[in-house]
């Protein structure tokens, strides 16, 4: 009898163990299904572990939340901070730091908090291509790269041939840590207002087209740009464009006509008119439009730039004009048959405030909203050649705009502005992942 009771206990224990094992398997299966149904689950947990306190930022010295809300007290405190040279110096990172730090790429990417995994399937299946033209301040560039980096995207970096060797070494060392970041195959010697700025972008366009990445849109930047949208924000807006391009393109004003009416050449290091020598008419009687150097264009547009015989003829005609980066893209955008282009009618003119590519404050367009001539509020930072170098006080207005990027930022002028903007973007990324979950 005792033996029988012992056998029954063992049998019941075995049955209970089997039931518990089955329940565990069922739970694991359910968890697995949950992760499959929600691909962002692991991304969210990994991103949460990365954290958001910027290792370069004045975390304890300023209140970014209040700054983004435009609170006067927080803005005044930030302004006072940037007036102290010692504060600026304490956050400066020399170029050689990146050469040494990138010798251990794994540690570099982890310590600098790069997002090295796709944050969503939507972004993973819509890769972007970047061309970034730089000539100094590796710290500015590295913060820009970190803010826009995603493993599914691809990045072509053009360093001015005139740049200091220490700067080139810093950028190439950085690029070597990422399989999807590369140095352009042909560098240009950048001359202000000359064709070299456009050629640098075209060189990157050709290199990007030669990669295996099936990127959808091309975005060109300089080292003092910074995003004001997350990668997911950009992808969703570009999906809505559905192959259309977004850039400034307007009829050329009378004051700018001389730029394309006379031949220009390099004179003692400056791009100047060649003794009043007049140019012939544009090829195919193309009307010339004006815009700026920065564009959001489809892959098909880029292919046309490299292959369309009309565009190739226009490129040759434009090479000896003044400030060609402000005419070439705007003109191609109005050419019939170019993918994503628009008609030449003035009804299709697009200003820089309506184009999504880049937000810039020019000093002559600043003013109070009550002024009929003002386009945007006064710069809260400083000005360089008429362009606002943003301060922390510009952020509240800036993040409400539709643009993808803003220019100019400078860590040597207002590191608080970049720090708070990057923190805002990281927090927005986390919020977007939580919404998806």
User: What residues are annotated to the active site?
Assistant: 326
Tell me if 406 sits within 8 A of 422, measured CB to CB: no
Token digits of residue 122? 């939507």
Q: Which residues pair with 265 in a beta bridge?
A: 272
* Phi, psi angles (nearest 5°) of residue 82: -70, -10
Q: Which of 21, 43, 19 is nearest to 118 (CA)?
A: 43
Q: Is 253 helix (H, G, I), strand (E, B) or coil?
A: coil
> Within 13 Å of residue 383, how many CA atoms lie on the same side as its CB?
11
Identify the DSSP state of 246: B
What is 332-395 written as a DSSP string? HTTSTTSTT---SSGGG-B-TTTSSSEEE-BGGGB--TTSSS-SBPPPSSEEETTEEE--GGGH
Give the containing element (helix H, strand E) for 309: helix 309-318
SS (H, E, C) 7-74: HHHHHHHHHHHHHHHHHHHHHHHHHHHHHHHCCHHHHHHHHHHHCCCCCCCCCCCCCHHHHHCCCHHH
First to last CA, the chain: 58
What is the C-alpha separation between 50 and 58, in angstroms, rounded?
18
Identify the DSSP state of 287: P
Token digits of residue 54? 């910027």
Q: Is 79 helix (H, G, I), strand (E, B) or coil?
A: helix
Q: Which residues pair with 423 in a beta bridge?
A: none
CB count within 10 Å of CB 259 equals 19
């Amino acid at each position: 009898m005792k033996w029988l009771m012992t056998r029954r206990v063992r049998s019941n224990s075995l049955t209970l163990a089997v039931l518990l094992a089955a329940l565990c398997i069922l739970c694991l299966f359910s968890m697995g299904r949950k992760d499959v149904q929600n691909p962002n689950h692991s991304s969210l947990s990994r991103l949460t572990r990365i954290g958001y306190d910027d290792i370069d930022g004045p975390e304890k010295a300023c209140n970014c939340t209040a700054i983004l809300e435009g609170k006067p007290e927080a803005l005044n405190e930030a302004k006072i901070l940037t007036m102290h040279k010692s504060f600026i110096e304490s956050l400066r990172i020399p170029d050689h730091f990146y050469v040494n730090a990138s010798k251990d790429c794994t540690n570099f990417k982890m310590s600098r908090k790069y997002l090295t995994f796709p944050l969503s399937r939507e972004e993973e299946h819509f890769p972007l291509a970047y061309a970034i033209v730089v000539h100094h301040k590796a710290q500015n560039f590295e913060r820009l790269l970190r803010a826009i980096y995603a493993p599914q995207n691809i990045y072509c970096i053009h360093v001015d041939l005139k740049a200091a060797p220490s700067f080139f070494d810093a950028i190439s060392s950085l690029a070597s840590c990422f399989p999807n970041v590369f140095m352009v195959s042909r560098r240009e010697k950048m001359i202000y207002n000359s064709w070299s700025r456009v050629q640098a972008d075209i060189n990157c366009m050709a290199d990007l087209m030669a990669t295996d990445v099936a990127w959808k849109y091309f975005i060109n930047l300089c080292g003092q740009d910074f995003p004001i949208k997350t990668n997911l924000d950009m992808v969703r807006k570009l999906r809505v464009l559905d192959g259309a391009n977004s850039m400034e393109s307007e009829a050329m004003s009378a004051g700018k006509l001389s730029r394309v009416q006379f031949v220009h050449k390099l004179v003692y290091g400056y791009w100047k008119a060649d003794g009043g020598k007049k140019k012939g008419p544009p090829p195919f009687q193309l009307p010339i439009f004006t815009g700026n150097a920065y564009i959001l264009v489809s892959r098909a547009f880029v292919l046309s730039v490299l292959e369309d015989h009309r565009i190739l003829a226009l490129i040759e005609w434009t090479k000896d004009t003044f400030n060609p980066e402000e005419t070439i893209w705007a003109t191609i955008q109005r050419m019939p048959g170019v993918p994503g282009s628009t008609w030449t009618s003035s009804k299709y003119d697009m200003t820089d405030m309506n184009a999504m590519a880049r937000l810039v404050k020019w000093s002559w367009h600043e003013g109070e909203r009550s002024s009929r001539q003002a386009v945007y509020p006064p710069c809260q930072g400083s000005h360089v050649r008429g362009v606002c170098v943003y301060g922390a006080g510009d952020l509240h207005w800036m993040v409400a705009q539709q643009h993808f990027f803003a220019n100019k930022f400078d860590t040597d002028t207002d590191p608080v502005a970049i720090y708070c903007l990057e923190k805002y973007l990281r927090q927005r990324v986390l919020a977007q992942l939580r919404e998806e979950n």
